[in-house]
Amino acid sequence: MSELDRTTVGNVGVVTPQTLHFAEPLTLANGRTLPFYDIAYETYGQLNADASNAVLICHALSGHHHVAGFHPHEDPATAKPGWWDVAIGPGKVIDTNRFFVVATNNLGGCHGSTGPASINPETDKPYGPDFPIVAVRDWVKVQGYVADMLGIKRWAAVVGGSLGGMQVLRWSIDYPDRIANAVVIASAPKLSAQNIAFNEVARQAILRDPKYHGGHFYEHDEVPEVGLTLARMVGHITYLSDDAMREKFGRVLRSDGYRYGFDAEFQVESYLRYQGESFSKRFDANTYLLMTRVLDYFDPARDYDHDLAKTFAKATCRFLVMSFSTDWRFSPERSREIVDALVRADKEVSYAEIDAPQGHDAFLLDNPRYLAIFGAYMRRIADQLEAHHAA
């Protein structure tokens, strides 16, 4: 990390999540309206005088607004920090000594923002399956309202991986005046049939779990744990590369020999079960369904004759696009589709394909070349901002 070591590389420390309440109705892309809603968010660093140093972090399927640091009740010695702590903090890639970082929990989430588990004012019961299916463009619109509340007219950068990257693309298309830089990591311009197919398996696992109760499980005091466990297991396989699984687990057994049964015998089995079960205890099933549908539906070129270059025509920001060699969920090819379209649309774009064995998960991990390229890009933004102020 020596290249990034401008000051002291560290952690943002203890962060208290905030909530913004929006009392105005929100009309969604699907035509429905939410009468009011809350958005949970966190910020790190200080907004500068002209509010030009703000960076928005967009989260992926199972993410949230807790991106870096620790929560007040947590012990930093034992707790895991926020999900992108590797990239965000003092002296890190997104340097909180220079940038003011904002992260929201997207609408429909289950970490403090209004979502399916929230009370539906029309029924005084949780929305459950009646929560409207939102779209990436709704999230981005709401992130814009959050920016308004925080006094941010234009983001220095909007940054995200996977589904987060789709939000970044949407920002560049829908609000070209409000985004200076777009950092799109391990993402895709739309899901492939195979991507949708994996989402559909996850959805069917949840929808067909008897404990899902048609989405009204809250009222039955049950959780479709089996469905969520299976959904996460299948998802998890797609986050890891074949190579990463070989490296991490191979065919290693948990005991000396075959036991000829269906208990977890191979280490990869117990790992997956653990991942699935722990996820099922902390994530809302309706939110999972909703997030997978947001992914399926994202296809900005639909409004532009399915021409991705035309889709980006009005974008004015600079783009950094990054992908990972062994990512088969959103392969480098999918990132190159974005890059090719941006080039055809005559936009300023840098592209880096990072050699990384970990598959899709690589965007969350400490990979020196990835963090160096990402860090250099962010450092240039900060340098320009500071040069502008000094001038």
List of residues contacting a second copy (CB under 8 A): 30, 32, 129, 132-133, 190-194, 196-198, 200-201, 203-205, 207-210, 226, 229-230, 233-234, 237, 240, 242, 245-246, 248-251, 258, 260-262, 264-266, 268-269, 272-273, 276, 289, 293, 296-297, 299, 328
Of residues 205 and 317, the one with the C-beta less far from a second copy? 205
Q: DSSP letters along 185-237, please?
A: ES--SS--HHHHHHHHHHHHHHHT-GGGGGGTGGGGT---HHHHHHHHHHHHH
Annotated catalytic residue within 327, 331, 335, 361: 327
Catalytic, 162? Answer: yes
Minimum distance of a second copy from residue 212's CB (angstroms): 11
Annotated catalytic residue 280 = no
- Rounded CA separation 374/199 (Å): 29
| Gap between the Cα atoms of 390 and 372, Å rounded | 26
Give whichever of 74 and 299 is closer to a second copy, judged by the CB atom. Answer: 299
**Residue 192: CB minimum distance to a second copy, A:** 6
Beta-carbon contacts of residue 112 (< 8 Å; ≥ 6 apart): 17, 19, 38, 40, 64, 65, 105
> Could you confirm whether 221 is annotated as catalytic?
no
Angle between helix 285-297 and helix 193-207 axes, rounded to 10 deg:
160
**Shortest Cβ distance from residue 310 to a second copy (Å)?**
18
Q: In terms of CB distance, is 248 or 379 closer to a second copy? A: 248
Q: Catalytic residue, from 162, 280, 323, 331: name it.
A: 162
CB atoms within 10 A of CB 246: 13
Structure tokens at 197: 């197919």
Question: Shortest approach of a second copy to residue 77 CB, angstroms?
Answer: 32
Q: How far is residue 279's CA from residue 273's CA, in Å, rounded to a whole number?
A: 10
The least CB distance from residue 3 to a second copy, in Å, is 34
Residue 51's Cβ-count burial label (10 Å; 0-12, 13-18, 19+) is middle
Q: Tell me whether strands 100-104 and 54-58 are parallel, antiparallel or unpaired.
A: parallel
Task: Write the single-letter amino acid at 180.
Answer: A
Minimum CB separation from a second copy for residue 236, in Å?
8
Query: Which residue lies nearer to a second copy by CB, 74 or 277?
Result: 277
Measured from the CB atom, is 89 or 189 closer to a second copy? 189
Nearer to a second copy, 6 or 336 (CB): 336
Distance CA 352, CA 355 (A): 10
How far CA 38 is from CA of 41, 62, 146, 195, 368, in Å, comes to 10, 18, 10, 30, 37
Q: Which of 50, 47, 159 is closest to 98 using CA atoms?
A: 47
Q: Which of 65, 66, 111, 360 is catalytic?
A: 360
Cα atoms found within 13 Å of the Cα of residue 49, Cβ hemisphere only: 4
Catalytic residues: 162, 327, 360
